[in-house]
Amino acid sequence: MPKDAGDAKLLFQSLNKAYAATPTNLKIIDLYVVFAMATALVQVAYMGVVGSFPFNSFLSGVLSCIGSAVLAVCLRIQVNKDNKEFKDLPPERAFADFVLCNLVLHLVIMNFLG
């Protein structure tokens, strides 16, 4: 086995071991981020195959997915217990901020649709 393949295998094993210790609520947020980004990629692929006739609709869909993923990453940062910067912020407040920002994001997206 080449040295690079062994290093990559060791890296993936250490990442898997570290991620196994991650709390379940953070794993759920990670799953939501992956879903939002996968949805954005599906929309881009669809636009590449079919075309982008209603371009505002395409932009709205992709920006909605990416914006939701960014807000979920912000939620993950705020809810993470290991993050000392947000230690005084209760998780309920972080979730309320996430919901409010998502509401504002989707209102802007709906306005962009026309």
7 domain residue, yes or no: no
Distance CA 72, CA 88 (A): 19
Question: Could you list the residue range(s) of the whole structural domain that residue 79 is in?
Answer: 24-112
pLDDT at position 2 over 70 = no
15 domain residue, yes or no: no
Distance CA 14, CA 106 (A): 38
51 domain residue, yes or no: yes
2 domain residue, yes or no: no
Q: What is the pLDDT of residues 58-110, one digit of tens each?
A: 899 999 999 999 999 999 999 998 888 988 899 999 999 999 999 999 999 99
16 domain residue, yes or no: no
104 domain residue, yes or no: yes
- Domain count for the chain, please give it: 1
102 domain residue, yes or no: yes
64 domain residue, yes or no: yes
Question: Cβ contacts of residue 35 below 8 Å, gap of 6+?
Answer: none
Q: What is the pLDDT of residues 79-91, one digit of tens each?
A: 998 888 988 899 9
**CB neighbours of residue 67 within 10 Å:** 19
